Structure 1
Amino acid sequence: MTEQNSADLQAVKQSQAKESTPQQVPVALSTSCLFPLGVPETFETALELGYDSVEVMITHNVLSQEPHDLLDLIQKYQLPISAIHAPTLLLTQQVWGRAWNKMQMAAKMTRAVGADVVVAHPPFRWQKTYAKNFVAGVREISQLEGVKIAVENMYPWSVKGKAVEMYAPHWDPSKFDYDWMTWDFSHAAAANDDSLEAVQRIGSRLGHVHLTDGSGDKVMDEHLVPGHGSQPVAETLQFIAASDFDGVVCAEISTRKAKGAAARDEMLAETLAFAREHLAR
């Protein structure tokens, strides 16, 4: 990071700190919400709708992989990046090479752009070597780079009506000694888990939240607008707001079925309003 970029990044953070209530839980907008649009469109939408920051999911899009380009967007839109989603999805297996390289590069990028959290999925079960040392490896990189690596809750897949374990050591990170976890309401619905009970169980290890919802009727990742599914999203956000949680709640809904930009923005505005209402302190 150049001295000028570092100064610009600090200016954005200081400006935002002055304009926001110190106790307010920040709400971010994930680039995944605007897919197939890119990072610049997410920044523009986040600014227009009043989100506090942006979460960047690393994809095959080169711009999402370049710290200098991301710093330019931070300066242009005067919005920080609060989280980097590592390219650990099935569709991004070719991004940044081997599994541990993905994690290391995501952690370095997180630090370079001034973010606090790396969101990472647990390994797939065929990544046996990676999975064997995953808990310890995550902690080592987290401490080395000085960022939180928050492992996300996933869900069992279903093949011909039978549950299939796709993740190792497990799809539920709360069963292991991770320092930090990301909680996703849509994934919880697909796993038939209760988000309020889970977040209470995770306690101070909750490092990041993906705000969305799911019906629980299908073994799939729906990413509904919060309040449109069966998860106790409102109650969980209220619990988070009443706790000493100092992380970020990030909107991660699917807008692919929206009929045009206006309808998409309505969904994102509704998600933000829901977050503001139930995260009020």
Structure 2
Amino acid sequence: MLVRGLRIKILRHLSSSIRRQPTTMMDNQLIANLSMLYTDRPMLERFSAAAEYGFSGVEIQFPYEWCAQELKGAADNAGVRVHLINVPAGDLLQGGKGLSCYDEQQDEFRKACALALEYGKTLSVEKINVLAGNVYDDSHREACLNCYIDNLRYAAELFLSEGIMLSFEAINNLDMPGYLYSRFDEMLDIYHKVAHPNAGMQYDIYHMARMGEKIAQQIRYHGDKIAHIQFADCPGRGAPGSGDLPLGEYFQLIAASDYTGVVSAEYKTKGNEQSDYGWLVISE
């Protein structure tokens, strides 16, 4: 059952040798990625788990193996909102081309967008994310980028009809070597080329850290262009405190920036409650 009136304190830096101390309260709502958190439970039970830990909402990467109405019922029963889902990405995560970067897959991409929109409407999501594809031949990169930009414009307009915003995301090229774009300046360039009021960047702190990006500067100066923020510690993509990132500092910058959305915990868990969720300090 969701405990009302709770807020989640964020820890600036954790280590095994330093007692955990909370820093400032976080102004932005903190949500849980149910594709990566609470994976020891069936999907329909993860909503209540997130609520019990104080998360105000959730996101699901690819919800399509579950009935949308059942997911909506689980979210409503737990008192949490589903904020974001992804458009189906075909074979992208298996190293394939994906659906959004190749002209010959336009029909399949548009069908995927239609399915995502149906789920988005049922789940009352705020945003739908469109992942790019893998491009292993540099001679195809420009054509793939142009196709992706066109597809983002199409999806932005389609989702606008239901009041759902489009997001798009850079993924580091160490974890996904073939992914179309991995750096912030590439994502920003795509943002300007798409030039649609219903499209914004999905900023993943972990992916940007892997690329050595200037995270604090980017949050401070580009918050108004960001549609969604996710985080994990780095290295390792684990829970806050498992790596070296000053996540507390980043959260304070987010709260002070022009970004007005939620912030999603999207990290790998180890199956140990303390190491996975011990960074959450709940207060009345």
**TM superposition score normalised by structure 1:** 0.71
- Cα-to-partner distance string for 1:78-111 (whole Å, 9 max, x where unaligned): 2211111334351497999934433342233223
Deviation at 1:186, TM superposition (A): 1.8
Query: Are 1:113 and 2:123 matched, yes or no?
Result: yes
Given that residues 33 and 61 in structure 2 are in contact (C-alpha distance below 8 angstroms), is that contact kept between their aligned partners in structure 1?
yes
Corresponding residue for 1:200? 220
Given that residues 96 and 134 in structure 2 are in contact (C-alpha distance below 8 angstroms), is that contact kept between their aligned partners in structure 1?
no
Q: Cα gap change, 1:104/1:131 in structure 2, threshold over 3 Å: closer, same or farther?
A: farther
Runs of 4 or more, structure 1, over 6 Å off, are 92-97
Given that residues 189 and 230 in structure 1 are in contact (C-alpha distance below 8 angstroms), is that contact kept between their aligned partners in structure 2?
no
Aligned-partner residue type, residue 38 of structure 2: L
Query: Are 1:26 and 2:29 matched, yes or no?
Result: yes
Q: Cα gap change, 1:237/1:39 in structure 2, threshold over 3 Å: closer, same or farther?
A: same
Given that residues 195 and 232 in structure 1 are in contact (C-alpha distance below 8 angstroms), is that contact kept between their aligned partners in structure 2?
no
Given that residues 196 and 233 in structure 1 are in contact (C-alpha distance below 8 angstroms), is that contact kept between their aligned partners in structure 2?
no
Q: Cα gap change, 1:20/1:48 in structure 2, threshold over 3 Å: closer, same or farther?
A: closer
Aligned-partner residue type, residue 102 of structure 1: A
Query: Are 1:166 and 2:175 matched, yes or no?
Result: no
Compare the two structures and name the one with the higher helix fraction. 1
Unmatched 5+ stretches in structure 2? 8-25, 100-104
1:155 and 1:226 mapped to 2: Cα distance? 19
* Secondary structure of 2:188's aligned partner: helix
Given that residues 230 and 263 in structure 2 are in contact (C-alpha distance below 8 angstroms), is that contact kept between their aligned partners in structure 1?
yes
- Cα-to-partner distance string for 1:199-238 (whole Å, 9 max, x where unaligned): 23433111111121112xxxxxx31212432334222211
Worse-superposed segment, 45-54 or 184-193: 184-193
* 2:56 pairs with one of 46, 52, 57: 52
Q: Cα gap change, 1:62/1:226 in structure 2, threshold over 3 Å: closer, same or farther?
A: same
**TM superposition score normalised by structure 2:** 0.71
Q: Percent identity?
A: 18
Given that residues 107 and 142 in structure 1 are in contact (C-alpha distance below 8 angstroms), is that contact kept between their aligned partners in structure 2?
no
Corresponding residue for 2:23? none
After superposition, residues 36-115 of structure 1 pair within 5 angstroms as 37-58=41-62, 62-63=65-66, 66-88=67-89, 89-91=92-94, 98-115=108-125
Structure with bigger RCO (C-alpha 8 Å, 6+ apart): 2
Corresponding residue for 2:265? 251
Aligned residues: 238
Q: Cα gap change, 1:95/1:135 in structure 2, threshold over 3 Å: closer, same or farther?
A: closer
Given that residues 133 and 179 in structure 2 are in contact (C-alpha distance below 8 angstroms), is that contact kept between their aligned partners in structure 1?
yes
2:96 and 2:41 mapped to 1: Cα distance? 20
Given that residues 225 and 267 in structure 1 are in contact (C-alpha distance below 8 angstroms), is that contact kept between their aligned partners in structure 2?
yes
Given that residues 100 and 130 in structure 1 are in contact (C-alpha distance below 8 angstroms), is that contact kept between their aligned partners in structure 2?
no
Aligned-partner residue type, residue 28 of structure 1: I
* Secondary structure of 1:254's aligned partner: coil
CA RMSD of superposed structures (Å): 3.4
Given that residues 207 and 247 in structure 1 are in contact (C-alpha distance below 8 angstroms), is that contact kept between their aligned partners in structure 2?
yes
Deviation at 1:42, TM superposition (A): 1.7
